[in-house]
């Protein structure tokens, strides 16, 4: 029985993260796409979306997904700096071959999987 509850809790946690992640992704991609649409380079658009999105994401994840866990703001910022560098490099490489709107979307999807793993195991640790 405890194994079943454990698995249900993990599934609920992943679903909460995914739901909040969808909102965060839409928020971040909207900022990125909006700045690209007005003529700002994809890299600068990503930087702006990253700065605005980091604050939004910290608030949403810490309150809605990881509310029962300890919080590490410094770890969160380090995680997001790593994710920014990683995604900037990936965005640059993808932009060599495909449309910047598609490359931005691809980067967001890949980054979401990596970000969940890092946040779950390094930033928001179980108490």
Alpha-carbon gap, residue 125 to 121, rounded angstroms? 6
Query: How does pLDDT run across 23-62, given as a tens digit for each residue?
Result: 988 998 899 999 999 999 988 998 899 889 888 988 888 8
Would the pLDDT of 76 be above 90?
Answer: no
Alpha-carbon gap, residue 50 to 52, rounded angstroms? 6
Percent of the chain with pLDDT over 90: 26
| Contact partners, residue 35, CB within 8 Å, separation at least 6 | 44, 45, 48, 49
pTM: 0.64
């Amino acid at each position: 029985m405890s194994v079943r509850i454990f698995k249900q809790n993990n599934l609920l946690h992943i679903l909460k993260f995914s739901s909040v992640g969808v909102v965060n992704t839409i928020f971040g991609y909207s900022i990125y796409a909006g700045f690209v649409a007005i003529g700002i380079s994809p890299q600068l658009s990503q930087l702006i979306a990253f700065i605005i999105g980091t604050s939004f994401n910290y608030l949403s994840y810490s309150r809605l997904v990881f509310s029962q866990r300890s919080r590490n703001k410094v770890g969160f910022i380090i995680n997001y700096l790593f994710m920014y560098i990683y995604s900037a490099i990936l965005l640059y490489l993808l932009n060599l071959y495909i449309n910047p709107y598609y490359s931005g979307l691809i980067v967001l999807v890949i980054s979401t999987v990596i970000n969940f793993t890092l946040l779950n195991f390094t930033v928001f640790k179980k108490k």
